[in-house]
């Protein structure tokens, strides 16, 4: 597949995706028929109230969980046809994850945290260190490279996590509530940073939030309500216009 073909085809196609959980006797329909296409290079926010299915959807995009009905095609491949090994290969090569709790390794410095996935990919230590430093610079905290996470603020930790996710050159960044543990000013800065990196590198970004105030400058917004994509325009107060 040449690169022009892989740019013109969707990175994701979801068709009729459903996910049901059994909680005791109760059946919870977390996703009720999601149809969605995401093109390479898009910057997309998934937002909606608690329990609307945001994390369930992100777990589908991260190849962590599978639908009970419907299909998902990721980068031209039918996900249901992939073995577990193939899925974890696609995850480590093509997807970078950013988490609400940052998920940094506490005993490693900022630089070593960003180096880790590069070394796991087989890069030599010097090369991993050079590339990690470049990414810390891109997220604006190269000066803090020797600090361990417990000496960094929440916003700085999330910058390390974003650098770590991007250093491995994924096609896609998945961030489930990346701003949930940050104050609103820092939350805005983190979203602005992801948007800047999306523009500079072309990496596709999908993030979730329950805070509509973060969506001002986000080009594509998907509102989830009760496991379905809401149709129509919603204002920043979450109310349908
Ligand atoms: N592993 C699970 N077992 C049982 N129920 C689950 C499981 N995961 C999610 N659910 C249920 O599915 C629904 C959607 O959950 P999900 O975590 O996707 O919502 P969310 O939009 O991410 O919410 P939040 O904003 O609180 O993170 C909820 O009713 C939730 O309780
Ligand atoms: Mg969630």
| Model confidence, pTM | 0.92
Q: What is the pLDDT of residue 232?
A: 61
Whether the CB-CB separation of 139 and 162 falls below 8 Å is answered with yes
What integer best gives the mean pLDDT of the chain? 92
Among protein residues, the one with the nearest Cα to ligand 1's atom 5 is 21
Our measurement of the distance from residue 123's CA atom to the centroid of its chain's CA atoms, rounded to an integer in Å, reads 24
Whether the CB-CB separation of 179 and 212 falls below 8 Å is answered with no
What residue spans of the chain are helical by DSSP H? 3-8, 54-61, 84-94, 110-120, 125-138, 154-167, 184-201
- Please give the distance, rounded to the nearest whole angstrom, from the Cα atom of residue 145 to the centre of ligand 2: 30
Tell which atom from ligand 1 comes closest to the C-alpha of 224: 21
Q: Percentage of the chain with pLDDT > 90?
A: 86
d(CA 81, CA 197): 32
Q: From the CA of 47, which ligand is nearest?
A: 1
Among protein residues, the one with the nearest Cα to ligand 1's atom 11 is 30
CA distances to 6, 133, 159, 187, 220 from 41, in Å = 11, 24, 20, 22, 12
Tens of pLDDT, residue by residue over 136-177, are: 999 999 999 999 999 999 999 999 999 999 999 999 999 999
Tens of pLDDT, residue by residue over 197-224, are: 999 999 999 999 988 888 988 989 999 9
Among protein residues, the one with the nearest Cα to ligand 1's atom 26 is 50
- Please give the distance, rounded to the nearest whole angstrom, from the Cα atom of residue 223 to the centre of ligand 1: 16
d(CA 180, CA 94): 25
Confidence of residue 28 (pLDDT cuts 50, 70, 90): very high
d(CA 19, CA 61): 13
Q: What is the pLDDT of residue 235?
A: 52
210 CB less than 6 Å from ligand 1? yes
Whether the CB-CB separation of 68 and 46 falls below 8 Å is answered with no
If you ran DSSP here, which 8-state letter would residue 67 be given?
A: -
Among protein residues, the one with the nearest Cα to ligand 1's atom 7 is 21
209 CB less than 6 Å from ligand 1? no
CA distances to 77, 99, 109, 168 from 116, in Å = 28, 16, 10, 10
- Please give the distance, rounded to the nearest whole angstrom, from the Cα atom of residue 140 to the centre of ligand 1: 34
List, in order of start, the domains of the chain with CATH numbers: 40-65+81-224 (3.40.50.300)
129 CB less than 6 Å from ligand 1? no
Confidence of residue 3 (pLDDT cuts 50, 70, 90): low
Determine the length of the chain: 241
d(CA 5, CA 179): 34
Whether the CB-CB separation of 194 and 205 falls below 8 Å is answered with yes
Q: For a pocket test of ligand 1, which of 18, 51, 65, 225 has the largest count of ligand atoms closer than 8 A to its C-beta?
A: 51
- Please give the distance, rounded to the nearest whole angstrom, from the Cα atom of residue 55 to the centre of ligand 2: 4
């Amino acid at each position: 597949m040449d690169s022009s073909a892989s740019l013109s085809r969707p990175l994701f196609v979801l068709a009729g995706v459903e996910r049901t959980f059994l909680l005791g006797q109760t059946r919870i329909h977390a996703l009720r028929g999601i149809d969605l296409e995401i093109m390479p290079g898009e910057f997309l926010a998934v937002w909606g109230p608690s329990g609307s299915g945001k994390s369930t959807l992100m777990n589908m995009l991260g190849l962590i969980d599978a639908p009970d009905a419907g299909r998902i095609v990721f980068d031209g491949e039918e996900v249901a046809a992939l073995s577990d090994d193939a899925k974890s290969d696609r995850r480590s090569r093509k997807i970078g994850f950013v988490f609400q709790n940052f998920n940094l390794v506490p005993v490693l410095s900022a630089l070593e945290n960003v180096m880790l996935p590069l070394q796991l990919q087989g890069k030599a230590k010097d090369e991993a260190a050079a590339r990690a430093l470049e990414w810390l610079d891109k997220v604006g905290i190269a000066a803090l490279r020797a600090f361990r996470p417990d000496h960094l603020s929440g916003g700085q930790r999330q910058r390390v996590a974003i650098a770590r996710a991007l250093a491995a050159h994924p096609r896609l960044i998945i961030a489930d509530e990346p701003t949930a543990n940050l104050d609103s000013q820092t939350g805005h800065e983190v979203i602005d940073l992801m948007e800047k990196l999306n523009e500079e590198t072309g990496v596709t970004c999908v993030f979730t939030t329950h805070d509509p105030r973060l969506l001002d400058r986000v080009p594509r917004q998907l509102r989830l309500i009760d496991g379905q994509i809401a149709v129509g325009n919603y204002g920043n107060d979450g109310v349908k216009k």
